[in-house]
Amino acid sequence: MKRMLVTGAVGQIGSELTMLLREKYGGDQVLAAGHHTKPTQKLENSGPFEFIEITKPGEVTNIIKKYEIGTIYHMAAILSAVGEKKPQLAWDVNMNGLYYILEAARESNCAVFVPSSIAAFGPNTPKDNTPQDTIQRANTMYGVTKVAGELLCDYYWTRFNLDTRGLRYPGIISYETLPGGGTTDYAVEIYYEALKQKKYECFLGPETQLDMMYMPDALNATIELMEADPDKLVHRNAFNVTAFSITPEHIAASIKKFIPEFTISYKPDPVRQAIADSWPNNMDDSCATREWGWKPQYDLDAMTEDMLKNLKIKLQIN
């Protein structure tokens, strides 16, 4: 079997995806690639690791050849809030980086997973039950790169028969690795602060409704899509997937069930609030269910219980 490559392997999703793929297929089979950040001991000791500069085409090509890569999980990206601060960097990493990955994949005939996002939609997209195929006039640089990325991946599939697949991830909540500069990060921070301070000041307003998902469901969705029967896939880049659609008020109420003294206050940050307001309230993910059997395991309370249990251990809080 040819090896797998995970780019962005030190990031929020990449770090856990690498570990799960290594458990499933063997440590040596999965090359983890990061940018600057030092990998954790766990990541370093469980299989091969390389630092790569995704915006330099030669580096990606060399690594794919050196390790005989057959499947790429391209998780390296700049997220929405950082993308608004540094739009040129977001374009370079998210678009040029993706183009180099696809070109290298084409040369070596690799399958490629590329994450898209709720950010691939914009203010004039239908907000409720957002269809799989609909208007996508994203108005953030992150969103622009996600829409263009979806189109580019579909182009490589139809033009070069390259096996590209993707998911429109909602906000992903997890306890292993912190997200880096997204608009949905509040939904992770809130759990840390609930345990550490018993209170949280939220940078989005109380009624800001967005799709979310717990990490185990996001990882399963990713691997299930890559293992899906290609003949059943009508869509490829990228599938709507969600587990639940919630507001900061909903998460606070869920946390209160386990930590009754928890309180939340609100100080909306204009930039991130505007980004969140341009995204759907809730997506219709029935195409993912129909075409490859998508079904989430965790609802909000099940996630809250598991997050608090695992974060207590991580933060050594009794």
Instruction: Determine if 60 is a binding residue for ligand SER (CB under 6 A).
Output: no
**Judged by CB, which is closer to ligand SER: 117, or 177?**
117
- Minimum distance from CB of 276 to ligand SER (Å)? 8
Using CB under 6 A, pick the residue from 4, 79, 219, 241 that binds ligand SER: 79
**Judged by CB, which is closer to ligand SER: 163, or 185?**
185
Instruction: Determine if 119 is a binding residue for ligand SER (CB under 6 A).
Output: yes
- Residue sitting closest to ligand SER (CB): 182
Using CB under 6 A, pick the residue from 169, 191, 214, 294 that binds ligand SER: 169
Instruction: Determine if 117 is a binding residue for ligand SER (CB under 6 A).
Output: yes
How far are the Cα atoms of 141, 198, 207 from residue 194, in angstroms, in the given order? Answer: 32, 4, 19
Instruction: Looking at residues 240 to 279 of the shown chain, list those that interact with ligand SER (rule: CB under 6 A).
Output: none
Burial of 298 (0-12, 13-18, 19+ CB in 10 A): buried
Q: Nearest-5° angle of CA 275, CA 311, CA 190?
A: 30
**Cβ–Cβ under 8 Å, residues 115 and 75:** yes
The stretch near ligand SER (CB under 6 A) out of 32-40, 59-67, 113-121, 226-234 is 113-121
Amino acid at 64: I
Instruction: Determine if 182 is a binding residue for ligand SER (CB under 6 A).
Output: yes
Residues ≥6 apart with Cβ < 8 Å to 194: 200, 255, 259, 262, 308
- Specify the pairing of strand 3-7 against strand 69-74: parallel
Instruction: Determine if 136 is a binding residue for ligand SER (CB under 6 A).
Output: no
Residues ≥6 apart with Cβ < 8 Å to 85: none
The stretch near ligand SER (CB under 6 A) out of 114-122, 200-208, 245-253, 294-302 is 114-122
Instruction: Determine if 282 is a binding residue for ligand SER (CB under 6 A).
Output: no
Residue 17 has φ and ψ, to the nearest 5°, of -65, -45
**Cβ–Cβ under 8 Å, residues 305 and 189:** no
- Minimum distance from CB of 19 to ligand SER (Å)? 20
Binding residue count for ligand SER, defined by CB under 6 A? 11
Using CB under 6 A, pick the residue from 184, 208, 209, 254 that binds ligand SER: 184
Using CB under 6 A, pick the residue from 15, 18, 183, 237 that binds ligand SER: 183
Q: How many helices (H) and strands (E) does the chain have?
A: 13, 16
**Judged by CB, which is closer to ligand SER: 85, or 309?**
85
Active site residue 142: yes
Rounded CA-CA distance 17/73 in Å is 9
DSSP 203: S
Q: Kindly name the residue from 73, 100, 142, 200 that is annotated as catalytic.
A: 142
Instruction: Determine if 80 is a binding residue for ligand SER (CB under 6 A).
Output: yes
**Cβ–Cβ under 8 Å, residues 283 and 168:** yes
Residues found near ligand SER in the complex (CB under 6 A): 79-80, 117-119, 142, 169, 171, 182-184
Give the residue numbers marked as catalytic: 142
